Structures are given as C-alpha cells and as structure tokens.
Amino acid sequence: MQNDKTTSELISRSFSGAVTAEQKQQIEEEIAANEQSRNFAALSRLIHDSLSDIGERTRDGDESVAAGLSQAARSRLKSSIRQESARLNNLGATMVGDTTNKPAMMSRPAALEEPEDRTLASRFVLTRKIGKGGLGTVWLAKDEKLQRSVALKEMNPEAAEFPRAWERFQREAEITGQLEHPNVVPLYQFGMDRNTGQPFYAMRFVGKKTLVDAIEAYHDRKEAGEDVTMDLHHLLTAFIGVCQAIAYAHSRGVIHRDLKPENVALDNFGQVIVLDWGLAKVTDDFESDGALSGVLSDHSSAGKTMAGEVIGTPLYMAPEQAAGRLDDIDPRTDVYGLGAILFAMLTGAAPHQNSSMDNGSSVPIPDLLKNIAEQPTPMVREYRSDIPADLAHICEKAMQFKAHSRYQSALDVAEAVQQWMAGRSERRQKYANSRSEGRELRAAMLSAIRDLERNARFMSSLPPIQGIVNAVSDRDGGDDISVWRERLAVIYKGLLKTNSDFSAVSYASADGTSYKELIRLERQASDSSNVRSIPASRLASGDLTFCMQKALEGNPDEVYVALSSECPPPGEARKVGRITAAVPVFDEVTEEVFGFVMIEACLEQLIEAQIRGRFRSINQLYVLDNDCRILMQIDNTGTRVRQNDGVAMSDLSPCWSKVVPHLKGSGEFIDEQDHAFYATRVDLVPGRYSLALAMCLAEKPQH
C-alpha cells in the first residue's frame, strides 16, 4: 500500500514537472507494469488539465472562475471524469460535451484495448450572425483548429430557461448527426460553451442562400419576360434532391414535419441541403435495421407532444398537422410538405397564402389552422394559370387533402417529377417537330395557292382563248368556235388530269351584268379520275357573281382568288370548301374586257395533298375557316374524321380564346407552357381571307 501511495504522489507531482529524471523513469516503469497505476494516471491528467484551464483563465482576468470552479466547469469536469471512467472500464465513449452522459456503446477490437491519451479540442470564433429563431441562433464561425468556416448554432439564453428547449436542441443535433445523406447538413461537433454553459453544435456552412431566394429570382425573371426554361429545370432538380433527403430520413424513421423553402439551403455548386430538424418526429414502428439508434420517438421526454398540439409552419402545413392530429402524422405528411414546396416553386406563393389573408388583413392563427384543416387543398392554377398542366397535377396530388390520396412516399414524388422532366424534354422535341411541320404545311398551302394563280393566268393566255374571242366577234379569217373549243378542251383536260385538287376550269364571256360559259371541264364527283367536258347545251349562264365581277374589274393577268362562298360554282348552292382563281380576258383588237377564265379547286383535297407525307408528330390537325369554324379534322393516320360540319373550335377547346389573339396578331400561337398545341394562320387572300391550322399533340385540343 505504501508503494501505491508513493507512486500516486509521484504521478501527481509529475504533471507539474516536480520530479527528478530518476523518479520519472520509475513512474514510467510502474505505469507500464500496473493497470491500476495507468488508470490513476489517466484520471489525474484529466483533473490536472481542467484545473490548469481554470488557472489560466483566472490569470487572464476571467472573474467568473476567480472564486473557484464555476457550475459549468464543475459539470464539465464531472462529465469528463465519468466519461473517462466509463472508457477505462471498457463501457465505451461519448461525445465531448454530451450532457446526457449516455454511452454510445462503441465496441473496440482487442488490439485497441490499450489506448493512448487523446485530447479532443476545438475553438470556434464567431464571425457574424446568419439567422435567429426561437430556439437558437446560427452564426458563421471559424474553426481555428482546422482553419475552416462552419455554421454554429447555439441555444438562445431565453430558451435555455426551459428544460424542454434543452431536450429539443439536443434532439435536433442527434437527429441531424445521424442522418448521413448528401442532402442533409453534416454535423461536425456537439458541445457546451465553457463561458455560457449553453449547448451548441457546429455543422457545415452551406451559405445563406435558400430555396426562397432561387424561387424569387425565377419568378422575377419570368415576370420580366425572360427565358426561364433552365431556371425551372434547376429548381426541379433541387426539389428532387429534397425528396431524396426526406425519403432517406423516412427510411431511418424520421419525419421532418416542417418542410418549407426556408429550410432548404442551396450552395453555389448546385448542392441541396435540408436544414432544421428541430421539429422532427422519430417513429417507433420502423424496422430496427438502418433506423436511428437510441430512443428518440415522440413518446420520449425529448420528443413528447401533447394531443392537439400544432407542429410546423402554417403556410405549408398539412391538414392533419393543422388539426393537431398527431397520431395521423406519418411520412405522407412530409409528402404534403414536399408538394407545398413545389407549389411555392410554381406559383411564387405559399399554398395557404390566400387563406392567411382576409380583405387585406392577416387571419388569426387559430382561424388559419381551422381553414387548413377543413377547407379543400388549394389548386396551383388558381394562383397561376400558366403552369404546365401535368406538373400542376403532380403538385396537387402530393397535396391531396386526404393522406391516402397523396403519393405514398417521397420517392414517388421525386419519380413523378423526374418523369415529367424527361417527358418534357421529349415533348419539347416532339413539339418542335410538329411546329416545324405546321410551318412547312403553311408554306406548302401558300405555294399551292400561288400555283393556282399561276395556272389561271397561264390558261387565260393560250392561243385558243383569242381564237374564241375572234369567233364570237365574227371576225374574218378565224376558225369556227367549235374548233377552238375542241383545242382548248384538250389543254384544260390535261390541266385537271395533272392537278388532282383542281375540280373544274371554265372560260366564259361577260356582258354587262351577266355571263355565259363558252367551255367547261370538270371532275366527276363520284369518280375523281374521270374528267369530262360539259356539252354546249349544258353550259351555264346567268348573273355575275361577286367574284366574277371582281375578276372582270382587274387588269390583264391580275388574278382574283376567292372562296366558293363568294363565287359558287354555276348551278350550285353556296358551299364552303372550294376556292377559285379568276383572270380577266381582254379582246386583243378592241382591248375591251371580253370575259374571264376561272379555275376551281377543292380546298379539302388541296390541303390533303399538302399534308400527305408531312404528318408525323401530331395527333390531330384542325383546318379552320375565317370564322374559326372547323373545315376539316384529320387524325394522325391521315384519315379525315370531320368535314364541313360547322363546329366552332371554341366548342372543342375552352381555351381557344387565348389562341385567337395570337393568330390575329403575329399569325402564330406557340404553347410554351404544355407544348401540346400549335396554331398558325395561312393567308390565302392577304388581308381578306385566311385559314388557320391548329395542331394538337394531345388526343384532345385542350390547352
């Protein structure tokens, strides 16, 4: 015993350096040979270091320790001694500064049972305040040991007066520290401030930018009319990262319960970090494998909440949270929170923003919670009508009033958004193709009309034309009119055989207010391949129609184009679906107007001829007249499914009224929102008559 006492005294004196070299050698030999001496030396070193620290602070003028150990210092010393004792007794180790003193039960290999003395020390210097909440204040701090910037959260002095706040603060640190995921902020150290005795924890500094800033920038640029395609892509990519972090937390039995854009940090390199797990709930009905260690459920003292207690931020809160139904809170509550974040991204407002105001005044919190708990979920397009329909549907499904109607997991939400993004890329390409096809069709139709004009002009300049003029005028030296009619019929028949969309060609004389056909060839209605010449006895005559009169008023080679509603074929009622081109014919001798040549074309066949081979990317094509009534509807197989039934496009598409101003203005409507609808104007007769081509990628023309 005397030897043990002597050894103990020598060990204690050695810390102050009051031993000889021989005595120091003796101590080292004793410690190497005796485990009890080793344990005593370790505890003595711990006590000496603590007292030395107090002494240094006293010499530096720190009056808080001048009268001896402060309460915080005594607590730290006791905690340190207990930790060291637990370690030496092979019970494990705890974090430095852990106020619970619960061992982490860390097993050690036998080869490591002989530990060396280790000291864990860090010093953080506060730089500037980043933010403050009811529980704690977050600082930008400098870790002087590792020379790096960290975010340091310390408990507020006013919160430290409540034991529940201590429990929540430590609980938040424990949950954050155990959720090891790239999108969850990593925690570096948890400890106690030696000056204030209040807890703090240090974590990665991810900057001050949050999802709120990115959302505001996106909507500012959108309102300014800038291209925000990539901005939306970046926001949705960040959102997927949030979903994945929450899905990981759910796999560990943790429900965040306070999801909102303010709790999502964004660094400058695209990484997304979910913050503030202080309101998290740890469930007790999960598999133990992969779940959080320790007892952190809401039934523990650290996580206990009373029935009817409201937890979360009202503007983003799920109905079951607003009603205080804690037993109903499960991962689908966070799914609602994810939908609420997506809602804010798309609209620029919190989902319950409208419910929080009444005639410009804020609604009391109890009334707001009652509204959330009882009223239907807000709809995205009630806030903004220009949100892509499919994306709005994803958001609204995540925010369904009843939990069983929502996506059943955070990963389901992420997958839905990813599929939309992938489909949007494919859809954008398909839409670009259909828009290109629409423009090609417009150009082809305009070219066809110009061909009609050129043919009419050419048919009026043939030699038989003047031969018939001379025969009718009974001039000497001219052939009989029947000869000229026969020659002209051969040419006109060739014209109709070559142009399948031309339905008839005629040559007529005019006198005052009447006309008389001299020759007419037309395509047989029942057999379009059969072109026949109308006998002289069946040729039409009568009063000039409007388009005939307009043609006769023109100059040589000037073509007047009109629909058959302005110029119906002789003997037929007014019928939409034909287009005519008429050219005046002058007597070369008298230079007076003699008559006109007219070519009639079937508008539907003309359109179909141009569509053939161009119809690849769309589901439905609608050809509309000047009054936006449907002339034709063709499906993606090229089959005509509607013709001349007079249905207005507005009857099929309630949003058609949004398209019309674009057609009347720029002549083109581009669907930047859903990439599902394209419309363009075809000026058949510039300034007088146009068609519209409406192309739908969807099965129905909804926009």
Statement: residue 60 has pLDDT above 70 = no
Closest CA to 405 of 372, 371, 376: 376
Statement: residue 68 has pLDDT above 90 = no
The CATH superfamily of 443-606 is PAS domain (3.30.450.20)
Statement: residue 222 has pLDDT above 60 = yes
Most confident of 85-89, 111-115, 647-651, 656-660: 656-660
Least confident of 306-320, 411-425, 578-592, 681-695: 306-320
Statement: residue 517 has pLDDT above 60 = yes
pLDDT of residue 16: 56
pLDDT of residue 540: 92
Q: Containing H/E element for 693? A: strand 689-696
Residue 298 or residue 668, greater confidence? 668
Closest CA to 595 of 482, 512, 663: 512
pLDDT of residue 691: 84
pLDDT of residue 98: 37
Residue 132 or residue 62, greater confidence? 132
pLDDT-derived band at 616 (thresholds 50, 70, 90) equals: low
Mean pLDDT within 281-293: 55
pLDDT of residue 292: 47
Statement: residue 456 has pLDDT above 90 = yes
Q: How far apart are CA 286 and CA 297, in angstroms?
A: 11
pLDDT of residue 311: 66
pLDDT of residue 413: 96
Altogether, the residues listed in the chain come to a count of: 703
Residue 194 or residue 395, greater confidence? 395
Give the CA count within 13 Å in the CB-facing half-sphere of 309: 9
Question: What mean pLDDT is reported for the chain?
Answer: 78
Mean pLDDT within 587-606: 89
Mean pLDDT within 272-283: 87
Between the CA of residue 12 and those of 43, 44, 231, 636, what are the distances in Å?
A: 10, 7, 67, 94
Put residue 175 in one of left, alpha, beta given phi > 0 → left and psi -120 to 50 → alpha: alpha
Statement: residue 429 has pLDDT above 50 = yes
The percentage of the chain sitting over the pLDDT mark of 70, rounded to a whole number, equals 74
Q: How far apart are CA 275 and CA 286, in angstroms?
A: 23
Q: Are 375 and 322 in contact (CB under 8 A)?
A: no
Q: Are 93 and 106 in contact (CB under 8 A)?
A: yes
Statement: residue 397 has pLDDT above 90 = yes
Q: Are 468 and 485 in contact (CB under 8 A)?
A: yes
Q: How far apart are CA 328 and CA 178, in angstroms?
A: 25
Q: How far apart are CA 261 and CA 281, in angstroms?
A: 19
Most confident of 30-39, 354-363, 372-381, 598-607: 372-381
Q: Are 207 and 200 in contact (CB under 8 A)?
A: no
pLDDT of residue 357: 81
Q: Which residue has the tokens 């395609």?
A: 229
Q: What is the pLDDT of residues 621-666, one digit of tens each?
A: 888 877 778 877 877 666 666 665 667 777 777 678 788 888 888 8
Q: Which residue has the tokens 């870790």?
A: 143
- Is 248 exposed, middle or buried, given 0-12, 13-18 or 19+ CB atoms closer than 10 A? buried
Least confident of 518-527, 535-544, 565-574, 587-596: 565-574
Statement: residue 574 has pLDDT above 50 = no
Q: What is the pLDDT of residues 233-274, one digit of tens each?
A: 999 999 999 999 999 999 999 999 999 999 999 977 778 999
pLDDT of residue 50: 54
Q: Are 471 and 484 in contact (CB under 8 A)?
A: yes
Statement: residue 358 has pLDDT above 70 = yes
Least confident of 190-194, 433-437, 457-461, 587-591: 433-437
Domain ranges of the chain: 34-112, 443-606, 618-696
Statement: residue 284 has pLDDT above 50 = yes
pLDDT of residue 178: 87
Q: Bridge-partner residues for 581, per DSSP?
A: 561, 599
Mean pLDDT within 50-73: 51
Q: 468: which residues sit within 8 A by CB, 6+ positions away?
A: 481, 484, 485, 488, 507, 518, 519
pTM higher than 0.95 for the full model? no
Mean pLDDT within 74-81: 52
Amino acid at 655: C
Q: Which letter does DSSP use for residue 184 in this model?
A: B
pLDDT of residue 636: 66
Q: Are 27 and 7 in contact (CB under 8 A)?
A: yes
Could you give phi then psi for residue 521, rounded to 5 degrees? Answer: -120, 140
Q: Which letter does DSSP use for residue 617 in this model?
A: S
Least confident of 124-128, 256-260, 411-415, 639-643: 639-643
Closest CA to 701 of 671, 639, 656, 648: 656
Q: Which letter does DSSP use for residue 576 in this model?
A: T
Between the CA of residue 92 and those of 106, 173, 649, what are the distances in Å?
A: 5, 20, 77
Q: How many CB atoms lie within 10 A of CB 424?
A: 20
pLDDT of residue 646: 63
Give the CA count within 13 Å in the CB-facing half-sphere of 144: 7
Q: 450: which residues sit within 8 A by CB, 6+ positions away?
A: none
Give the CA count within 13 Å in the CB-facing half-sphere of 433: 13
Q: How far apart are CA 231 and CA 218, in angstroms?
A: 6
pLDDT of residue 518: 94
pLDDT of residue 363: 83
Statement: residue 338 has pLDDT above 50 = yes
Q: Are 41 and 10 in contact (CB under 8 A)?
A: no
Q: What is the 3-state secondary structure (H, E, C) of 496-550?
A: HHHCCCEEEEEEEEEECCEEEEEEEEEECCCCCCCEEECCHHHCCEEECCHHHHH
Residue 110 or residue 87, greater confidence? 87
Task: State both tokens at 424.
Answer: 């949007």
Closest CA to 684 of 544, 543, 565: 565
pLDDT of residue 276: 86
pLDDT of residue 2: 46
Most confident of 10-24, 289-303, 403-417, 444-458: 403-417
Q: Any idea which architecture 618-696 has in CATH? A: 2-Layer Sandwich (3.30)
Residue 366 or residue 302, greater confidence? 366
Q: How far apart are CA 350 and CA 46, in angstroms?
A: 54
Q: Are 181 and 59 in contact (CB under 8 A)?
A: no
Cα 192–Cα 194–Cα 196 angle in degrees, nearest 5:
85
Q: What is the pLDDT of residues 6-57, one digit of tens each?
A: 666 666 666 556 667 777 777 777 777 776 666 666 666 656 555 555 555 5
Q: How many CB atoms lie within 10 A of CB 66?
A: 11
- Is 696 exposed, middle or buried, given 0-12, 13-18 or 19+ CB atoms closer than 10 A? buried
Q: 691: which residues sit within 8 A by CB, 6+ positions away?
A: 445, 623, 624, 625, 626, 631, 681, 682, 684
Q: How far apart are CA 420 and CA 390, in angstroms?
A: 7
Helix, strand or coil, per DSSP, at residue 357: strand
Query: How many helices and strands (H and E) does the chain possess?
Result: 19, 24
Amino acid at 172: E
Task: State both tokens at 79.
Answer: 């905690």
Q: Are strands 560-563 and 578-586 parallel, antiparallel or unpaired?
A: antiparallel
Q: How many CB atoms lie within 10 A of CB 415?
A: 14
Question: Same topology for domains 443-606 and 618-696, yes or no?
Answer: yes
pLDDT-derived band at 90 (thresholds 50, 70, 90) equals: very low
Q: Which residue has the tokens 């023109």?
A: 554
pLDDT-derived band at 227 (thresholds 50, 70, 90) equals: confident
